[in-house]
């Protein structure tokens, strides 16, 4: 799996968009970008994933650059409940027998009133 680099922490004002960057310069052509988040001591929560096109769901949008070397997770209207550690994970969708996720340190997003 390709290595990812994320800022250690970020702040965002409540109601504003939170833009969380992730660098994955060694990503290969068939690797996906996944985002998970973990609200304090709760189980990690799947947010979104994409290959090369931008993706949007009810939680967030994922913007992947054309060269796929970086991506941005966008929470359009951050709330206090979005305060969490956000993990960017790059991996093959089909890894054969090994389906486990490899978590880095992620970005701690603090949404402030």
- Asked if 93 is part of the footprint of other proteins (rule: CB under 8 A), the reply reads yes
CB of 27 to other proteins, least distance (A): 17
What CA–CA distance (Å, rounded) separates 112 from 83? 9
Confirm if 85 and 37 have CB atoms less than 8 A apart.
yes
- Asked if 3 is part of the footprint of other proteins (rule: CB under 8 A), the reply reads no
CB of 62 to other proteins, least distance (A): 13
- Asked if 46 is part of the footprint of other proteins (rule: CB under 8 A), the reply reads yes
CB of 67 to other proteins, least distance (A): 25
Q: Note the residues at the interface with other proteins (CB under 8 A).
A: 34, 38, 41-46, 49, 91, 93-105
């Amino acid at each position: 799996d390709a290595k990812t680099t994320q800022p250690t922490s970020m702040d965002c004002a409540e109601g504003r968009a939170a833009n969380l960057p992730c660098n994955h310069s060694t990503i290969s052509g068939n690797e996906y970008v996944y985002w998970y988040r973990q609200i304090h001591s709760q189980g990690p929560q799947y947010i979104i994933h994409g290959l090369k096109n931008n993706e949007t769901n009810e939680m967030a949008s994922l913007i992947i650059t054309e060269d796929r070397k970086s991506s941005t997770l966008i929470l359009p209207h951050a709330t206090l409940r979005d305060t969490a550690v956000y993990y960017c994970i790059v991996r093959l969708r089909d890894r054969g027998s090994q389906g486990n996720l490899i978590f880095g340190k992620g970005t701690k997003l603090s949404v402030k009133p």
